[in-house]
Chain A
Amino acid sequence: MLGRTLREVSTALKQGHITPTELCQKCLSLIKKTKFLNAYITVSEEVALKQAEESEKRYKKGHSLGDLDGIPVAVKDNFSTSSIETTCASNMLKGYVPPYNATVVQKLLDKGAVLMGKTNLDEFAMGSGSTDGVFGPVKNPWSYSKQYREKRKQKAHGENEDSNWLITGGSSGGSAAAVAAFTCFAALGSDTGGSTRNPAAHCGVVGFKPSYGLVSRHGLIPLVNSMDVPGILTRCVDDAAIVLGMLAGHDPKDSTTIQDPVKPFTLPTSADVNKLCIGIPKEYLAPELSSEVRSFWSKAANLFESEGAKVIEVSLPHTSYSIVCYHVLCTSEVASNMARFDGLEYGHRCDINVSTEAMYAATRREGFNDVVRGRILSGNFFLLKENYENYFIKAQKVRRLIANDFVNVFNSGVDVLLTPTTLSEAVPYLEFIKEDNRTRSAQDDIFTQAVNMAGENLTSAIPEPHAKEPEQLHVTSFSYLPMTNELAGIIETFVVT
């Protein structure tokens, strides 16, 4: 039952094959069994059981709230959840209990979803491994798959069973692991530079990044205001579409959400890719790309071609600069956003009372880890008066060039872009930590962040079925048209795969 899709389980609930309480308890017990994955920071057991009970009452009366009623979901711990601790995996917010729900969380709850808990992440969503939070790293469930264990046995004998576990990718690693381990049917992540798609790729689940402005950021503790979006992690594309349908739309509490009405939609059951034009950006053929990912990428392109789609090579000329541009803009906005953590109104506060400045400085030193401090300092450097023009403004100009690259490609008749999500499959933790966070982020975000800067792109990572280990592809489409059309390109592509 837990391995089913959201839609299947929802049908089972509606038909009475299982009750929300039973489902909730199964998930809770699986969460306990998979505690070693460290996917959850907080498991909201009582809240979940209460929500499940209410859902059951609704089903009994025949008043279910829809497809999400009674469905266990998890939420990344940088979304504010009323009365449930929200830490962002940082000492700065340990013990912080928000007085309100993030809009996306509220929407899920309003549709009857059952909140299993808050998932683990890199501290303040900064990182690409989910290894740098204060609650420890998240382990990829695939580390315990038969295939991987056999591969490890062949390689090294007498090695400690658990020493070579794989990372989940990040920063929404906890959400991805929670979904991949069947402890919930959907999870919320956040995506600033790939933080939903990267762990989705490494954990073999679907990671969906909506276009900027489609889903409300109210209640998502901000990293980069101009690029953050809530992300959706599920086990299949259809499930992601269901969740997106519930979350998309204008929110008066987030003025960066677009005001265009969002029409309800469903994915077609059969796909016709004859009219689809798929672009393969040549600059994404990076030398560091692993041979497995490269071959999977070709395989997917060939598959589409054999089904009748037109597959052409396209160019995004500024690709090689996008990671640098992202790095400057991200650290600059981070420097600004992290300024709110001063210990006065919420969060950690140290004991120094000499002066406000001394108290702020010590609080921030104690509350933030090296990664966060490093980004704040980098951002502040780029924002110094003497550097502002040469770094920050320059990066904003390059951002426009990158966004224009995408506009030009999509204006030339291409409907979707097909690219890898990551350079290689998930690596072992011991290997990942050999480089620092900034280096890793620069390497791992290479395919994903350009789309965050262009903003108007819908992106997702789709797992290859039957893969030995999760391999992922990235499908990007673009449109200024209302949402149904935006998804059109994706829909057909997904169903074919």
Chain B
Amino acid sequence: MWARAVKLGLRSWVGWRRGFTSKVDPQRSGRVTAEVIEHMERLALVDFGSQEAVARLEKAIAFADRLRAVDTDGVEPMESVLEDRCLYLRSDNVVEGNCAEELLQNAHRVVEEYFVAPPGNISLPKQDEQEPFSHI
């Protein structure tokens, strides 16, 4: 029962990705190729969702490309405006905590004092792979 619901959920998503990327214009001059899209969706665990989102990313990249015009030879990257100061380190004493119950209250699925997660180490289905669990 749950497997079917899951299949339906995943099917629409996988179906979108297949349909969408097959329409990708091979002549598009963008840096955002189908490979990059797939790679990024896996890394970010956020999907593009539409052609518009890809177009928006391309525009964002084109915008960022303007930085090439700046001469940064010999310039060190700046990570923080407080780089000249020492970071505050407090002493290693336990002064608070023991609030497991409070923290667990905000989670949807909890068993005793554990957050419950679905099984790990299962990659997202690739675009050209068959639907997962179709044998179930």
Measured CB to CB, the residues of A under 8 A from B are 96-97, 99, 212-213, 226, 250, 252, 255-259, 318, 321, 324-325, 327-328, 331, 335, 342-347, 349, 351-362, 364-365, 368, 370, 373-374, 376-378, 380-382, 384, 390-391, 393-401, 403, 436, 438, 442, 453-456
Contact = CB atoms under 8 A, between A and B. Distances in A.
B107 interface: yes
Contacts of B102: 99
Given A327-B63, A365-B47, A397-B72, A226 B80 contact: yes
A378 B75 contact: no
A368 B40 CA distance: 16
Contacts of B99: 99
Interface string B32-59: 1000100111111111110001001101
Contacts of A403: 78, 81
Interface of B: 2, 5-6, 9-10, 13, 32, 36, 39-49, 53, 56-57, 59-61, 63-64, 66-70, 72, 75-82, 85, 87-90, 99, 102-103, 105-109, 115, 117-124, 132-133
A329 B118 CA distance: 33
B109 to A, nearest CB: 7
Given A318-B70, A358-B10, A401-B72, A377 B57 contact: yes
21 contacts: A212-B81, A255-B88, A256-B82, A258-B85, A259-B88, A331-B60, A335-B44, A347-B106, A354-B6, A354-B122, A355-B122, A355-B123, A356-B118, A356-B120, A357-B120, A362-B9, A374-B56, A374-B57, A377-B44, A381-B57, A384-B39
Contacts of B6: 352-354
Contacts of B79: 226, 396
Contacts of A455: 80-82
Nearest to B88: A255
B118 A321 contact: no
Given A352-B118, A373-B53, 12 more contacts: A212-B81, A213-B85, A252-B88, A318-B70, A352-B6, A353-B2, A354-B6, A357-B123, A357-B124, A361-B41, A373-B46, A374-B60
Nearest to A437: B56
Given A351-B9, A370-B49, A382 B57 contact: no
A384 B43 CA distance: 9
A373 B36 CA distance: 16
Contact of B53 (A255, A362, A377, A442): A377
A398 B67 contact: yes
A373 B49 contact: yes
A353 B117 CA distance: 8
A207 to B, nearest CB: 20
Nearest to B95: A252
B117 A374 contact: no
Contact of B78 (A99, A321, A396): A396
A90 to B, nearest CB: 13
B49 to A, nearest CB: 7
Contact of A454 (B44, B49, B59, B81): B81
B40 A377 contact: yes
A401 B70 contact: yes
Contacts of A453: 81
Q: Is the interface of A mostly helix, strand, loop or mixed?
A: helix
A259 B68 CA distance: 37
A345 B44 contact: no
Contacts of B107: 344-346
Contacts of B44: 335, 376-377, 380
A356 B82 contact: no
Closest 4 pairs (CB-CB, A-B): A455-B81, A396-B77, A355-B122, A400-B78
Given A99-B102, A354-B122, A395-B67, A256 B61 contact: no
A398 B72 contact: yes
A397 B88 contact: no
B13 A362 contact: yes
Contacts of A349: 108-109
Contacts of A454: 81
A348 to B, nearest CB: 8
A98 to B, nearest CB: 8
Nearest to B81: A455
A391 B43 contact: no
Contacts of A342: 45
Contact of B40 (A318, A354, A381, A442): A381
A5 to B, nearest CB: 32
B106 to A, nearest CB: 4
A394 B72 contact: yes
B70 A361 contact: no
A398 B70 CA distance: 7
B57 A361 contact: no
Contacts of B123: 355, 357
Contact of B59 (A351, A390, A438, A456): A438
Contacts of A345: 103, 106-107, 115
Contacts of A252: 88, 90
Contact of A397 (B77, B87, B108): B77
